[in-house]
Structure 1
Amino acid sequence: MPPFELTRREWLGGAAALGTMAAFAPVTAAAQGRFAWPAINSLLADYVDHGKVANLVASVGFSDRPTHVFARGVDTLGQARQSDGDSIYRIYSMTKPITGMAAMMLVDEGKLALDQPLYEILPKFKSMQVQKVYDGPITPDNLEPAVRPITIRQMLTHTAGLGYGIVQQGPIAKAFQDAGVVPGLVTRLQNLPVFRGTAVPSLELFADRLAEFPLVYQPGTYWSYSMGLDLMGRVIEVVSGKTFDAFLQERMFDPLGMVDTHFRVPSSKADRMTTSYYLMNGNLLPIDLGSDSIFFDPIPFPMGGSGLASTPKDYDRFLEMLVGLGTYKGTRVMSEAAVRLGTSNLLPDTVRQKPGRQGLGLDLDIYGFGAGGRVGKGDDAGVYGWAGAAGTVGFADIAKGIRGGLFTQYMPSGAYPLIEQFPAAIRDDLATFTGRA
């Protein structure tokens, strides 16, 4: 593979399996206190001690009990600070569940409805065109009218037919870049084609520009990773009457005490900001330094699909709130009904499996999708979560009261099987745990 050329699957490795939580069983606090967690610690040691990553921080929690945090490595190779639960990571698509739950708050309050047409809120999306040939030309001969309107449900579940610059391979991908429809910050290295593109300067303009592009699928037909959650940020602004970032701060971050979760990281926190690396031929090449990150710069707009940086401790607070069915340390942040609905399978009835399951589609035989995160079926019902493009993952098992997070910084995330290995390590440890408890 040529340098810095990424496949869809590598870019979106964060969308891979979170692993089954079906084997988990409740364990006593006393057993937790004396347990060594050998599988998790072995996983961290393997990756850090062999130079695969600069650091790994894992968190595991049960209900509202104190969180177990495991850390190894340094925030930046060659620097002294040891990574810990307060290290700041670019969580990228782990922003999506936060945006999804913010939307569920408004659904719960009757200000939004899941099957409400998007055009009732953003009128420019009323008469959408759709590509006849997926990822084909964006010329009139390859376009047809949408057979149904985009809905809030579809936006939350990546079934609206909206494209994504990191997914599309046809002419529309470059057109997104040229128009500034770029909902992600990675590096200032604009000479690298995969990271090219300057975002428009407001969320309102982002939404308006996106409305000018055709959809890549008919709304409600296929699961296709998209800019739906970024667009949801604009919906939240219009419906709530607050800027998207202010809404999250007031309704989510402040009540949860998420003091280190930001769209723009204060430069005063540079001492805890990790460095992001690109993995090429087994070497870690720095593409965004912790000491001088692009996340310190003024943001074009708050990106609800990929824009947040956070810490393992902060994100665990969000997961604990979900496991607590909307409460955190006695504070009601969301209603139980909103959490249960948002972590359930919200896929439209019209969605069908992609032929041959080509590309990075969702395997509908195994998984559903909720508000910004994937959900399990069958024995895995109640497991909700998502992952980020730079090696982070977070999940909440609502049914069993278990949550977990894994944090590191490398791209492409699919270069390593960490997203499968982390839940497997938790399962192995809990199997031993249960036997000793």
Structure 2
Amino acid sequence: MTDPATSLHELLKSHVDSGPLPGAVALVARHNRVAVQAVGSLDATGTTPMTRDTIFRIASLTKPIIAAAVMLLVEDGRFALGDPVGRWLPELAAPYAVRSPTGPIEDVVPVTRPITVFDLLTFRAGYGFPSDFSLPAVGPLFTELTQGPPQPQLVPAPDEWLARLARIPLLYQPGEAWLYNTCSDILGVLIARVSGRSLPDFLADRLFEPLGMVDTGFAVPRGRLDRFAYCYRGTSTGGLDLVDPPAGQWSSPPAFPSGAGGLVSTVDDCHAFARLLLGEGTVDGRQVLTPASVRRMTTDHLTAPQRDAAHLFLEGQGWGFGGSVDVAAVDPWNVPGRYGWVGGTGTAAHIVPSTGTATILLTQFEMSGPTPPTLMRDFWHLAAGL
């Protein structure tokens, strides 16, 4: 039988050696058996080796963590899933939606019902990205909100950000369609307003400290920048462009801590969060979430037409709270019930509750679009067989 650590090392090394990926860290855990490998370097020059404790921009792997934080407030009795969010986010209490997604942005109608917490968690509030980016009401998400690849130092503070969002009409009526990304940022603002604390402070106190996620946050302290990977994107000629150095966008706290993609973390911190979900809310004997909250997070809540319409992002899979849920075994690595998500900076983290498995892949090489790159798919195929 092939040793899991050896298989992981060979897979990562083959992708690093073939370029242009500078390095990667991967983990596959099944119950108490954990295999971790770090290959390559933190930067394109190869001067600093990649290590198990390398810090990465995890991008959209932030989304499941934000969903868990929302469920903590539900358990605290601060709100229910069906509550309208206008009580805490008055900017969104009476929004307008475009009459037709393909129509002009000025042609709007009142919403048929309020936006609820559940709408935000399931990405069906009416805000976000559809499979067709050319729709008129999508453009302002980029121009007004700096949505897209995380750029934490360029986004306005939460109150101003939400005020700008309120001036953009919904693309669909609440509950109608799954739209990507924006709802997690709204949830981050909601958490702060309901808890009366900043989002970083709430996450640190209620999730990161209890789980021992010591390197997870919205910025990297100066003393840890030597462990922070550079971030790159590929060029048309097969080379690398530097997107962000360690002393760049994440070297100081942002005005807007993005619930959609602002966190940095390590493979072991991501594993701690995965263990929380696999343990139905309990890690090392400590109850952080209830089993009911974890089940809600990891259950598909979409209709078949909603899944089909979101094909660019979901590839036929469903959506829970903050992450996708496999609903069909369309590939060898698809296991019904597998929950998790990918990050645009080249990251992926999933759990398979039925087998007690966690798979985590962290790189510093940006994805070129919503479709997972070859390395991710190769990693999932390998992990499924270990």
TM value normalised by structure 1: 0.80
Residue pair 1:131, 1:143 contacting (<8 A) in 2 also: yes
Q: SS in structure 1 opposite 2:43?
A: coil
Q: Residues 183 and 199 of structure 1 are in contact (CA less than 8 Å); yes or no, is this contact kept in structure 2? A: no
Q: Structure 1 residues 156-165 or 170-179, which shifts more?
A: 170-179
> Is the CA contact (8 Å cut-off) linking 2:131 and 2:311 kept in structure 1?
no
2:48 corresponds to: 81
Of 237, 243, 252, the residue aligned with 1:287 is 243
Structure 1 unaligned regions, length at least 5: 1-30, 189-197, 431-437
Q: Which amino acid letter does the alignment assign opposite residue 320 of structure 1?
A: R
Equivalent residue letter for 1:312: V
Residue of structure 1 in register with 2:183 after alignment: 228
SS in 2 for 1:215: coil
User: Does the Cα contact within 8 Å between 2:131 and 2:313 map onto a contact in 1?
Assistant: no
Aligned residue type for 2:287: R
Distance 1:270 1:87 in 2: 10
Please say which of residues 179-188 and 292-301 is displaced more in the overlay. 179-188
- Higher mean displacement: 120-129 or 254-263: 120-129
Matched, 1:367 2:334: no
How many aligned residue pairs are there?
378
- Is the Cα–Cα contact under 8 Å of residues 152 and 256 in structure 2 kept in the other structure? no
- Matched AA of 1:68: A
1:244-294, Cα deviation, whole Å (9 max, x unpaired): 11110000000111111110111221111101111012111112123x221
Question: Which residue is equivalent to 1:144?
Answer: 109
Does structure 1 residue 57 correspond to structure 2 residue 20?
Answer: no
Amino acid at match of 1:69: V
Residue among 401, 413, 421 paired with 2:356: 401
The alignment partner of 2:250 has SS state of: helix
Summarize the alignment of residues 1-400 of structure 1 with structure 2, pairs less than 5 Å apart. 35-63=3-31, 65=32, 67-134=34-101, 136-139=103-106, 142-164=107-129, 168-180=133-145, 182=147, 185-186=150-151, 198-200=154-156, 202-281=157-236, 282-290=238-246, 292-347=247-302, 351=303, 353=305, 357=309, 360=312, 362=314, 366-377=316-327, 380-400=335-355
Q: How many percent identity over aligned positions?
A: 33
Query: What CA distance in whole angstroms lies between the structure 2 residues aligned with 1:239 and 1:358?
Result: 30
Alpha carbons 1:382, 1:399 under 8 Å: kept:
yes
CA contact (8 A) 1:48 1:55 kept: yes
The one-letter code sitting in structure 1 at the alignment partner of 2:205 is: E
Structure 2 distance, partners of 1:203, 1:156, is: 18
Per-residue CA deviation, residues 350-397 of structure 1 (Å, 9 max, x unaligned), is x5626974762545xx53211100112267343110110011000111
Q: Which amino acid aligns with 1:216?
A: L
2: CA distance, partners of 1:298 / 1:355: 36
Q: CA deviation at 1:331?
A: 2.0
Q: 1:116 to 1:415 in 2, by over 3 A?
A: closer
TM-score in terms of structure 2 length: 0.89
Preserved CA contact (<8 Å) 1:224 1:361 = no
What amino acid is the match of 2:318?
G
State the one-letter code of the partner of 2:244. Answer: D
Alpha-carbon shift at residue 162 of structure 1 (Å): 0.3
Cα 1:57–1:166 shift into 2, 3 Å: farther
> Per the alignment, in what secondary structure is the counterpart of residue 312 of structure 2?
coil
**CA shift digits 1:92-112 (9 cap, x unpaired):** 100000001111112223222
CA contact (8 A) 1:108 1:337 kept: no
Match of 1:424 in 2: 381
Counterpart secondary structure, 2:52: coil
- For the residue of structure 2 that corresponds to 1:411, the secondary structure is coil
Higher relative contact order (CA 8 A, sep 6+): 1
What CA distance in whole angstroms lies between the structure 1 residues aligned with 2:141 and 2:338? 33
C-alpha deviation, 1:47, in angstroms? 0.8
1:203-248: CA deviations, max 9, x gaps?
Answer: 2322232122101112211112131011001111222222211110
Deviations 1:283-336 (A, max 9, x none): 11112123x221103302211010001111111111111111112222222122
The answer on whether the counterparts of 2:340 and 2:350 sit within 8 Å (CA) in structure 1 is: yes
RMSD: 2.6
Q: Give unmatched runs, 5+ long, in structure 2.
A: 330-334
CA shift at 1:344, angstroms?
A: 1.4
| Cα distance in structure 1, aligned partners of 2:103 and 2:218 | 34
